[in-house]
Amino acid sequence: MTRDERFFARVLRFLVPVAVGIAFLVLWEVLVRASGIRPFVLPAPSVIAESLAANFPSLMGSLWVTLRVTTSAFLLAVVGGVGLAILFSQSRHVEMAFFPYAVVLQVTPIISIAPLILIWVGYDRVELALLILAWVAAFFPILSNTTLGLRSADHNLRDLFRLYGASRWQILTELQLPSALPYILAGMKISGGLALIGTVVAEFVAGSGAATGLAWRIVEAGNRLDIPRMFAALFLLSALGIAIFFALTLLENRLLRRWHESAIRREG
């Protein structure tokens, strides 16, 4: 492929999905207008946009709350997951003792422990409760992926490190962590989405005006049958999820494109 063709292909990869999206919105608008469906059943995109504009300050405030909880929970999940995986990699006994409980934490549906966490933390500190719940949701993929990644270092390279008398610390930092990086990044991509889901679920459960995130706006709009506003909040929530996914994909590409098969663009 020539330079021009490559550029064209990249533009196309961006333009085609956008064109599909626009076509979908136009079709939606036309169908809603033509059929006369009431806005409280299915509002037209133009009505949703109006609602978004009208409620902009409150929705942005809520977006900020959800974004803050999601990203803090995600970052703490990365720190905790990678940290615990490193601890596991240093001792099989520690791993044997604690890994099953990490699994228990993962398989227990987050929504079922949400009320308990809320009561323990208290309704005066709802944001902390949301943070804990989102963290629980996001934590496990990082832990399990990093654990696998730390173990996947090339055996011959490990022998080579031993041959040169490398310390545990050197083996960890120079061999195991770089080997685990693709696994950690894959775990982060899953966790980014889960952190958002955890936040939304926790907000739903917290409810009753104590939480002010986007999920709460959806519940609130639903109670008032303000469906356009509900869609507006939903739109922002999706946009947030997409932004998280793209940010993590970009990070993965930046870190791996020089050496890892998954990120190397091939010709032809």
Partner 1 sequence: MTADAREALPLVQLRGIGKTYPNGTVALAGVDAEIRKSGFVSLVGPSGCGKSTLLRIIAGLIAPDSGTLSWQATGERPPDIGFVFQDATLMPWARVADNVHLPLKLAGVSKDKASPRIKAALARVGLADFATVFPRELSGGMKMRVSIARALVTEPPVLLMDEPFAALDEFTREKLDDDLLDLWTAQRFTTIFVTHSIYESVYLSERILVMGARPGRILADIAVDASYPRGRAFRESKTYLDTCATVSAALRDGAMP
Residues of this chain that bind partner 1 (CB under 8 A): 154, 156-157, 159-166, 170, 174-175, 178, 181, 258-260, 264
Is the CB of residue 203 less than 8 Å from the CB of residue 130?
yes
Residues 153, 179: Cα–Cα separation, whole Å: 5
Q: Look at the chain and count its residues.
A: 268
- Least separation in angstroms between residue 180's CB and partner 1 is 11
Cβ proximity to partner 1: between 33 and 257 the closer is 257
Which residues have C-beta within 8 Å of that of residue 59, sequence separation ≥ 6? 52, 214, 217, 232, 233, 236
61 closest CA partner among 228, 236, 203, 193: 236
- 4 conformational bin, left if phi > 0, alpha if psi -120 to 50, beta if neither: alpha
- Least separation in angstroms between residue 168's CB and partner 1 is 12
Cβ proximity to partner 1: between 173 and 208 the closer is 173
- Least separation in angstroms between residue 147's CB and partner 1 is 19
Cβ proximity to partner 1: between 177 and 205 the closer is 177
Cβ proximity to partner 1: between 171 and 190 the closer is 171
Residues 205, 224: Cα–Cα separation, whole Å: 18
- Least separation in angstroms between residue 161's CB and partner 1 is 7
224-259: burial string, b at 16+ Cβ within 10 Å, e else: eebbbbbbbbbbbbeebbeebeeebeeebeeebeee
Torsion of CA 29, 12, 234, 48, to 10 degrees: -30
- Least separation in angstroms between residue 261's CB and partner 1 is 8
Residues 144, 260: Cα–Cα separation, whole Å: 20
Cβ proximity to partner 1: between 95 and 174 the closer is 174
- Least separation in angstroms between residue 140's CB and partner 1 is 26
Cβ proximity to partner 1: between 106 and 253 the closer is 253
- Least separation in angstroms between residue 179's CB and partner 1 is 8
100 closest CA partner among 68, 140, 129: 140
Cβ proximity to partner 1: between 148 and 166 the closer is 166
